[in-house]
Amino acid sequence: MSSLVRTGPRPIGPELGVGPIGFGCWRFVAMSTTDARERLELALDAGMNLVDTADVYGLDWGGDGFGAAESLLGSVLADAPELRARMVLATKGGISLGVPYDSREEHLVAAADASLSRLGVDSVDLYQIHRPDLFAHPDEVAAGLETLRKSGKTREVGVSNYTRVQLETIAAALPFPLASTQPEFSALDLTALRDGHLDVAMRLDLAVLAWSPLAGGRLATGEDVRPELREAIDLLAERESVDRATIALAFVLAHPSAPVALLGSMNPDRIRSAARALKVQLDRSDVYSIVQASEGVPLP
């Protein structure tokens, strides 16, 4: 029986294609341009051509403030402009410090302009709303995304951290297809699996960009993980001769929505080894053993 792990490219819209593992830039801060370039090139060489950042990245992990991750990536692209052609560049906006969320048209356009300036590019391939603005009408949000797309500042648009109903609503409000959704999804957080989010993504033909597939590293270390889940992953890791992180990535890649697992590690060894997940063999018994161990209750 063939493995459930999906190893092929993932479409984002009709023209963009990305590998099954992406390079997440939440921790892409507090390093030199040389070190940042090394990590980016390692990721690209490993087939991680989706590079996902956001304007708010830089407030954690030793970053020096809002926009720091985009600015560092911009410095890398200024140093090595040829790398831009090797990536599908995605960023996110809509978070406003002290507000905290603002998805009005004028704010999304201003946020995108600021992101493009920090990145040193004229456009990105994918622009996503980072978190839903609960007090913005869907038509107003759609107008902002439409403006960005019509102006050529982004090729495709998507959303991040939306609920299933919010996802359906914004997709219905847009005059063109939504391209992506970015939920948290891992063996430790099955919310998107259980609440219908991934099912809606399949119905709407959306790229699923799964953030924190290693649960912030907890699935790699085993810390603060239910003992039953750690044991289930360890058994599979031993069988497949890989580590826990590799099994955790393979689990995300096994869902029929064909998620892109966004790896956030800046550890060169972790970046190099991520592709091992594509060689893991997981069948239905394996993935359901992980689900049952994660939830801590027998499957009905």
Q: Report CA-CA distances (Å) from 107 to 94, 141, 289.
A: 7, 10, 45
User: Torsions phi, psi of 89, nearest 5?
Assistant: -95, 125
Q: Which amino acid is at 280?
A: V
* Identified catalytic residue from 57, 101, 162, 288: 57
Separation of alpha carbons 20 and 260, rounded Å: 5
Torsion region of 82: left, alpha or beta (phi above 0 gives left; psi -120 to 50 gives alpha)? alpha
Active site residue 162: no
CB atoms within 10 A of CB 134: 8
Q: Name beta bridge partners: 211.
A: 184, 262
Query: H helices of 196-243, where?
Result: 197-203, 218-221, 227-240
CA-based diameter of the chain, in Å? 55
Q: H or E element: which one contains 270?
A: helix 268-273
Separation of alpha carbons 113 and 74, rounded Å: 14
Residue numbers annotated as active site: 57
